[in-house]
Amino acid sequence: MNEEKILTALDEGELEKLLSPAPSFRARQLFKWIYRDVLSFDEMTNLPVSFRDELKKRFILCDSAVKKRLVDEDGTVKLLVAFSGGAGAEAVLLKDGKGRCTACLSVQAGCPVGCVFCKTGSLGFSRSLQAHEITEQFLHLSRESSAPIGNIVVMGMGEPFFNLDALRKALFLVGKGKGLSPRRFTVSTSGIPRGILDLSENGPKAELAFSLVSAREDLRGRLMPGVREFSLAEIKNALGIYQKKNGRRITLEAVLLGGINTGPEDARAILDFARGLFVVVNVIPWNPVNGLCFEGKPLREPDACETETFIRTLEQGGQNVTRRFRKGRGVCGACGQLGQRLQQGGN
């Protein structure tokens, strides 16, 4: 499918060109309708019927379909979205205790980084998503949401900096369409220095999260083989440049794997890594995924004592720490659990 024909890939300027000689306000009206989550051209009631008929012939309003929908008792909604050509990805709607909604979006079908603790990583890599495929995940979630979605976290399937151009376009479109400032976006990376620098240089001015996992170089390389080539020093340097330019606090994500990266030396290595940066460490006890192993041994959740001791060591070292509350585990929609194959979920 030619992306130019898919409305969710286009901004107002692009729409205006394609719709010429129609007056420019028609492009603005159409753009507004797309981000009102309509499902058909017939719902665009302030557009003349003849114009809607022309749109139907020339454009596709949405090029993906929700193949499976799961709702957790905590309110989390997980969607398996199928794209034309066969690839699929999961998107998650999270609600906090105050009813505020966050969309968690995927940027790739599968992921080439291959983190041993992540279900997506165990799937291998299919392909990067196009901008409209990311935008449409948001729109599908928005239709599910009783309240406007106020935040976007790019923490679903895939590494954002391996698909930054498409992500940038999608965030621009959703930001414009829904009136969300880039500060409402959080991009989470496994640590690609050139991507961090690109974001720093060219925006959007999103919040940045770095999935550190372990600040022990050797262990990190074994847990996250696809980013082994980037040293922690190189990543830290890029984070420092990002922070200098952006001025915002960076989140270091520490997924805790029972018995693997939870010792006092692991916490101290994180303290060393964090020195000189303005960061908060987000501790995420691993969310179980059946069948995942590290060097021949099944992974396990950290026990409460391991987690508490780890957090205490960080705090005693003067580090700001938050603990990720567990959302969506009942539908395998929590961090590290995404990765249903299209053929499993779709039929």
Catalytic residues: 90, 335
Contact between 191 and ligand SF4 by CB under 6 A: the answer reads no
From CA 152, how far away is CA 163, in angstroms rounded?
16
Q: Are 289 and 249 in contact (CB under 8 A)?
A: no
Of the candidates 8, 135, 137, 190, which one interacts with ligand SF4 according to CB under 6 A?
190
Buried b (16+ CB within 10 A) or exposed e, 222-242: ebbebbeebebeebbebbeeb
Closest by Cα among 34, 41, 1 to 15: 34
Contact between 206 and ligand SF4 by CB under 6 A: the answer reads no
Of the candidates 16, 90, 144, 159, which one interacts with ligand SF4 according to CB under 6 A?
159
From CA 164, how far away is CA 202, in angstroms rounded?
11
Contact between 115 and ligand SF4 by CB under 6 A: the answer reads yes
Binding part of the chain for ligand SF4, among 19-27, 112-120, 138-146, 165-173 by CB under 6 A, reads 112-120
Of the candidates 10, 34, 113, 129, which one interacts with ligand SF4 according to CB under 6 A?
113
The residue (of 106 and 200) whose beta carbon lies closer to ligand SF4 is 106
Shortest distance, CB of residue 133 to ligand SF4, whole angstroms? 16
From CA 138, how far away is CA 8, in angstroms rounded?
11
From CA 91, how far away is CA 156, in angstroms rounded?
7
Main-chain phi, psi angles of 256, to 5 degrees = -95, 120
Binding part of the chain for ligand SF4, among 39-47, 49-57, 115-123, 325-333 by CB under 6 A, reads 115-123
Binding part of the chain for ligand SF4, among 54-62, 155-163, 236-244, 312-320 by CB under 6 A, reads 155-163
Contact between 111 and ligand SF4 by CB under 6 A: the answer reads yes
From CA 135, how far away is CA 171, in angstroms rounded?
7
Q: What DSSP element (H or E) covers 70? A: strand 64-71
The residue (of 109 and 149) whose beta carbon lies closer to ligand SF4 is 109
Shortest distance, CB of residue 146 to ligand SF4, whole angstroms? 28
From CA 16, how far away is CA 8, in angstroms rounded?
14
Nearest 5°: CA angle at 29, between 28 and 35?
A: 90
Buried b (16+ CB within 10 A) or exposed e, 263-280: eeebbebbbebbeeeebe
Shortest distance, CB of residue 255 to ligand SF4, whole angstroms? 8
Of the candidates 63, 94, 121, 185, which one interacts with ligand SF4 according to CB under 6 A?
121
Contact between 157 and ligand SF4 by CB under 6 A: the answer reads yes
Contact between 118 and ligand SF4 by CB under 6 A: the answer reads yes
Contact between 253 and ligand SF4 by CB under 6 A: the answer reads no
**Which residues contact ligand SF4 by CB under 6 A?**
111, 113-115, 118, 120-121, 157-159, 190
